[in-house]
Chain A
Amino acid sequence: MSKIELNVNGQWQTVDDVPPDMPLLWVLRDRLGLTGTRFGCGMAQCGACTVHLEGNPVRACSVPASAAVGSRITTIEGLAAADGTLHAVQQAWLEHDVAQCGYCQSGQIMSATALLARNSKPSDADIDAAMAGNICRCGTYVRIRKAIHSAATALRARI
């Protein structure tokens, strides 16, 4: 049990009594009240819990919070700009009305933003590879793909 300091969405947070094996997911959800990162399987199968560590997508259910100390952590709550302007990926998700139940979509969006940060023009195969860890039980894949392509276009237009 120890006290840890985490950098979440640009803010330092002190969390007391964190067992060394406690997954980042439960620190975010139960201790910090950041419930946008969701629990689906607890074994890195579904991607509902995807967050960024230093910009890389990771499954928060399978990363101990202690291992995230010292890294920049970004969750879905930290994706929009400070003034509330949505990230291009979030915006594309709205435009394509991607969500059905919506439960997987935080994780989908985190995987998609990480993809577009390193690949400004992903092919369908790139999308398949980057998004393979995110299950959508409602089957919104057709719209996820379209939304990623249109977010990519929007982001390229800004450069």
Chain B
Amino acid sequence: MSGFHIQKLDRRRFLQLSGLTGSGLLLGVAVIDSDPAHAAANTLAPSAFAPSAFLQISSEGIVIYATQPEIGQGVRTSIPMILAEELDVAWKDVEIRIASIDAKRYGVQTAGGSTATPRSWNPMRRAGAVARAMLIEAAAREWNVSASECRTRDSKVMHAASGRRAHYRDLAEVAATLPVPDADTLQLKTRTEYRLLNTRVRATDGRDLVSGRPTYASDVRIPGMLYAMYVKCPRIGGKVRAANLDAVRSLPGIVDIFVLEGNGDLTELKPGVALLARDTWSALSARRALRIEWDESSAASDDWPSTLAKARELAPAGGDDATGSDLIAERGDVATAFASAKKTLQATYSYAFLSHAQLEPQNCVARPLAGGGMELWPPSQTPQRAQTAVAKLLGVAEANVTIHPQRLGGGFGRRLNNDVACEAAAIAARAQAPIKLQWIREDDMTNDVVRAGGLMALQGALDARGRLTGWRNHQITFSPDGKRIVSGGTLRADEDFAPLLPAVRITRSVLPWSSPCGFWRAPGASAFAFPLQSFLHEMSIAAGRDHLEFLLELLGEPRWLPPANAGALNTARAAGVLRLAAEKAGWGKRLPEGRALGIAFYFSHTAHVAEVAEVSVDAAQHITVHAVTVAVDVGPVVNLNGAEAQCQGSVIDGLSAMAAQQLTHRNGVIDEKNFDRYALRRIGSEPRIDIHFLQSDFPPSGLGEPVLPPVAPAICNAVFSACGQRIRSLPISAEGFSI
């Protein structure tokens, strides 16, 4: 059974833990996840000796701590809402404070993989419910009535018979003296009882954002801070052989300049030249005069044009059983399915390398501490890992590295890596001065951990009744050493519809690639949905069948696919969102001449999402996306405002990426260095985006990522239906299309 033990913190202990010094009585509710399964999954699970504190009620007010990194996905608002719902507190009474970075106190603090909401769901609900029960008990004792006769609403406990009511603030003192009930004995609210969840709540720090108040890591200013830049080899992995350091040191505004060797890990500390100046512009100006001779003997020589050409040759051939590719999955009798097929089809799809291009370039303020430690303000999606990485880099204990949480000017997976924190720490340690390291956009784009491109050669078999009977998928992906696949480039055996196919063989060939790759919004899915869901459409067209009906047939009976838990694809949930999207978009309706609908589904991050795009295509292959209908099953919706924002943003991001985004590595150098060469979508001709949630009592899924993957296949399927042309490369600009 699950083991969220909830502990009350005595006031002294609570003050000690939360670093608070204020007066007033405090009810600290601690939640400890002692479920061994979770403990195994989360090596950072808090221990019983250092409980986490999410909530504080005192005579001064009600404070909920936002513990997860805010990257624009809205968790500073939505996760506290989960606790507030069970507490039955009026949202306007809640003050949200940002929790410190502390694994022992808060457990995992990570923004990645759309996990923050599901990870927080039970602990936050239980913390709220326990606190509420204690407040009720406090009121019941005060009034000498039975707790069961008391109700709560809007931060108050009420006793109907006597008409008495008391605000939580005024009950906290007594509540804090009571024993903590076992959370398992408490009844959590059912979805129909929610008053706060699934409503529209505005972002917690909205006023700061519209007023330009210091908000981001890049806004941090500390006394005596020097402005640093760090110049790395344009060819990834190059080392500094020599540089005109003395000449640059004498330039105006320059305080220091030195070479750092790097620690051998290109995702932590690359070799380079650090410039320290009195302001950013002095550093930038001096940088122009900096001449570095690079040792490129061990630098990357990755080259996308030639690699793509090689992959295009390899992909179709490798799909045969005869080749020496790695087997990812094989089920059923694939050879027979193809041999006895009425019709077979094959096609090769490709998708480009992508940049994260979060709008706030990488930066980090760092201040050396006495005794070799470091204090940092990094824009990190994984601040706890930043602490670990910096401690290791500096050779100090983690306790000597303090991380101040920051709101991030975008993440999209880029800031799962903590290279900028490592660089800032190394520079500050060497200079023994507080520094602000600022990357310029060119640094950011050429030192990204990019989304890997790749290819898929797909083959499908149809029987005489137009049913999909066989499937082969040969993926071309990359590896630095022939063994470890680049991050985000691994096609799973159970990716999306794979487990639904009667006979399937999935193989993989690997080409060498040494430049760092990483997770990009909806890792894997953001790339794989396009070939997989487009080729399914090719099959239904070949079968002469309606695509929705074809997909529903594949889904079959309502059931969980293996491993048959709430983290797996559920065919009923998948069919539910497909039907909902189709119905809302008017699937099958008569459309004006030249317009067509396309539908696609994708399962990622435990979310079931279907989308229908309505498009038209002109003679110059310009696509107008008139509408995108999104149907989502993520269980219960937390903040409707935020949930819709993530859907809208994901559709725009999907459009933006598929239209014209691609990175071109040429002999280890990335060509696209700024937004003049890398097209982020601007305002104008946004499609109408209709969003529908199929709410359920399944555990919630996060929403930062899963709406993105179906965008490209839904649009490309619609394009085929509108003009008869099948797009098989992303970005679509590679095939002469535009949006």
**Chain A residues within CB distance 8 Å of chain B:** 1, 17, 19, 21-23, 26, 29-31, 33-43, 45-46, 48, 75-77, 79-80, 86, 90, 93-95, 97, 99-106, 109, 127-128, 131-132, 134-145
B contacts, CB < 8 Å to A? 71-74, 200, 202-203, 205-207, 209-216, 218-219, 221, 227, 252-253, 279-282, 284-285, 357-361, 407-412, 438, 440-441, 641-642, 645-646, 648-653, 656, 674-676, 680-686, 689
Contacts of A103 in B (CB 8 A): 216, 358-360, 409-410
Q: Are B645 and A135 in contact (CB under 8 A)?
A: no
* 4 interchain residue pairs of minimum CB distance: A36-B212, A139-B652, A101-B72, A103-B409
- The answer for the CA separation of A123 and B207 in the assembled complex, in Å, is 27
Contact A102 B686 (CB under 8 A): no
Given contacts A134-B683, A135-B680, A137-B410, contact A40 B281 (CB under 8 A): no
Q: Are B285 and A100 in contact (CB under 8 A)?
A: no
Number of A-B contacts (CB under 8 A): 187
Given A40-B361, A45-B675, A75-B212; 15 other pairs, CB 8 A cutoff: A29-B280, A34-B212, A39-B438, A40-B441, A45-B674, A94-B206, A99-B72, A134-B682, A135-B682, A137-B653, A137-B680, A138-B72, A139-B649, A141-B686, A145-B686
Decide: B210 and A39 in contact? CB cutoff 8 A.
no
Identify which of A30, A76, A105 contacts B281 (C-beta below 8 A): A30
**Structural contact, A139 and B280, CB atoms closer than 8 A:** no
User: Could you say which residues of chain B place their CB within 8 Å of the CB of A19?
Assistant: 252, 281-282, 285
Find chain A residues with CB under 8 A from B207 CB: 86, 94
Contact call A102/B682, Cβ cutoff below 8 A: no
The answer to whether B212 touches A77 (Cβ under 8 A) is yes
From the candidates A21, A35, A94, A136, name the one contacting B202 in the complex (CB within 8 A): A94
Select one of B211, B408, B649, B676 contacting A45, CB under 8 A: B676
Q: Is the CB of A43 within 8 A of B279?
A: no
A141 to chain B, nearest CB (A): 4
Evaluate contact between A132 and B674: CB separation under 8 angstroms.
no
Contacts of A131 in B (CB 8 A): 682-683
CA distance A102 to B645 in the complex (A): 12
Tell me the nearest residue of chain B to A135, going by C-beta: B680
Give A77 to B646 CA distance when docked, in angstroms.
28
Inter-chain CA distance A29–B213, complex, in Å, is 12
**A30 in contact with B280 given A103-B409, A139-B652 (CB within 8 Å):** yes
Docked CA distance A101–B675 (Å): 19
Task: Tell me whether A141 and B652 are in contact (CB under 8 A).
Answer: yes
B652→A93 contact, CB < 8 A: no
Determine whether the beta carbon of B210 is less than 8 Å from that of A128. no
User: Bound state CA distance, A2 and B682, in angstroms?
Assistant: 38
Residue with the highest number of chain A CB atoms closer than 10 Å, among B206, B218, B359: B359
**Are B74 and A35 touching (Cβ within 8 A)?**
no
Q: Is the pair A35, B214 in contact by a Cβ cutoff of 8 Å?
A: yes
Structural contact, B209 and A102, CB atoms closer than 8 A = yes
* Given A40-B441, A77-B212: A26 in contact with B656 (beta carbons within 8 A): no
Among candidates B202, B279, B359, B648, residue contacting A137 with C-beta atoms closer than 8 Å: B359
In angstroms, Cα B218 to Cα A48, docked, is 13
B678, closest chain A residue (CB) = A45
- Cα(A104)–Cα(B409), bound, Å: 8
Instruction: Give the nearest-CB partner of A34 in chain B.
Output: B212
Q: How far is the CA of A128 from the CA of B280 in the complex (A)?
A: 32
Cα distance A105–B680 in the bound complex, in angstroms: 16
> Are A31's CB and B279's CB within 8 A?
yes
The answer on a CB contact under 8 Å between B281 and A26 is yes
Which residue of chain B has the shortest Cβ distance to A65 in the bound complex? B281
| B410 adjacent to A138 (CB under 8 Å) | yes
What's the Cα separation between A105 and B214 when bound, in Å? 13
Q: How far does the Cβ of B361 sit from chain A's closest Cβ, in whole Å?
A: 7
On chain B, the residues within 8 Å of A17 by CB distance are 253
A1-B252, A132-B683, A140-B648 known; A86-B210 Cβ under 8 A: yes
Contacts of A136 in B (CB 8 A): 359, 683
Known contacts A97-B206, A99-B210, A43 near B676 by CB under 8 Å: yes
CB of B648 within 8 A of CB of A142, answer yes
Q: Taking the nearest CB of chain B, how far is it from the CB of A32, in angstroms? A: 11
Contact between B359 and A135 (Cβ–Cβ < 8 Å)?
yes
A105 touches B645 (CB 8 A): no
- Please report the C-alpha to C-alpha distance between residue A38 and residue B407 in the assembled complex, in whole angstroms: 14
Contact B684 A132 (CB under 8 A): yes
In the bound complex, what is the Cα–Cα distance between A109 and B285 (angstroms)? Answer: 30
In Å, the complex CA distance between A136 and B304 comes to 28
Secondary structure at the B interface, as helix, strand, loop or mixed, is: loop
User: Across the interface, which residues of A come within 8 angstroms of B284, CB to CB?
Assistant: 26
Given A35-B219, A36-B213, A76-B211: A104 in contact with B645 (beta carbons within 8 A): no
Cα separation A29 to B283 with both chains bound (whole Å): 14
A151 to B717 CA separation, bound complex (whole angstroms): 38
**Smallest CB separation, A17 vs chain B (Å):** 8
Is there an interface contact between A38 and B360, defined as CB atoms closer than 8 Å? yes
Q: How many angstroms from the CA of A100 to the CA of B682 in the assembled complex?
A: 16
Q: Which residue of A lies closest to B639 (CB)?
A: A97
**Whole-angstrom distance between the Cβ of B399 and the nearest chain A Cβ:** 31
The CA of A131 and the CA of B686, in the complex, are separated in Å by 13
Taking CB atoms, residues of chain B closer than 8 Å to A26 are 279-281, 284
Let me know if B683 and A138 touch, CB within 8 A.
Answer: no
Find chain A residues with CB under 8 A from B409 CB: 38, 101-103
Across-interface contacts of B280 in A (CB, < 8 A): 26, 29-30, 39
Please give, as numbers and ranges, the residues of chain B lying within 8 Å of A137 by CB-CB distance: 357-359, 410, 412, 653, 680
Given known pairs A90-B210, A139-B681, the reply for A22 and B281 (CB within 8 Å) is yes
Give the residue of A45, A95, A135, A139 whose beta carbon is less than 8 angstroms from that of B648: A139
Residues of A within 8 A of B219 (CB): 35-36
Residues of A within 8 A of B227 (CB): 30
Task: Judge whether B209 and A99 touch: CB under 8 Å.
Answer: yes
In the complex the two chains form, what is the Cα distance from A134 to B684 in whole Å? 11
Query: 28 A-B pairs, CB-CB below 8 angstroms?
Result: A36-B211, A43-B441, A43-B675, A43-B676, A45-B675, A45-B676, A90-B211, A97-B203, A99-B203, A100-B72, A101-B358, A101-B407, A101-B408, A101-B411, A102-B205, A102-B209, A102-B215, A103-B360, A104-B359, A127-B683, A128-B683, A137-B410, A137-B412, A138-B359, A139-B651, A139-B652, A139-B681, A141-B681
Nearest CB of chain A from residue B224's CB, rounded to whole Å: 14
* A31 contact set on B, CB distance < 8 A: 279
- Chain B contacts of A77 at CB under 8 A? 211-212
Contact of A140 with B358 in the complex, beta carbons under 8 Å: no
| In the complex, chain A residues whose CB is within 8 Å of the CB of B71 | 101
Determine the chain B residues whose CB is within 8 A of the CB of A45 once the complex forms: 674-676
Question: Which chain A residues border B213 with CB–CB below 8 Å?
Answer: 36
Q: Bound state CA distance, A37 and B211, in angstroms?
A: 10
Cα A103 to Cα B556 in complex, Å, equals 45
A58 to B405, CA, bound (A): 32
Please report the C-alpha to C-alpha distance between residue A93 and residue B645 in the assembled complex, in whole angstroms. 13
Q: Are B202 and A97 in contact (CB under 8 A)?
A: yes
CB distance from A79 to the nearest CB of B (A): 8
Output the nearest chain B residue to A29 by Cβ-Cβ distance.
B280
Contacts of B685 in A (CB 8 A): 128
- Scoring B203, B357, B641, B649 by chain A CB atoms within 10 A of each residue's CB, the highest score goes to B649
Closest to B357 in A: A137
State A58–B689 Cα separation when bound (angstroms).
Answer: 31
Q: Which of B202, B411, B675 neighbours the largest number of chain A CB atoms within 10 Å of its CB?
A: B675
Does B361 lie within 8 Å of A39, measured CB to CB?
yes
Contact B675 A46 (CB under 8 A): yes
Interface centre among A23, A38, A77, A104 (most CB of B within 10 A): A38
Which residues on the B side are within 8 Å of A144 (C-beta)? 683
Is the CB–CB distance between B359 and A93 below 8 Å?
no
Residues of A within 8 A of B438 (CB): 39
Which residues on the B side are within 8 Å of A40 (C-beta)?
359-361, 441, 675
Known: A36-B212, A42-B441. A139 touches B676 (CB 8 A): no
Question: With A97-B203, A102-B409 known to touch, is A139 a contact of B674 (CB < 8 Å)?
Answer: no
Minimum Cβ distance to chain A for residue B651 (Å): 7
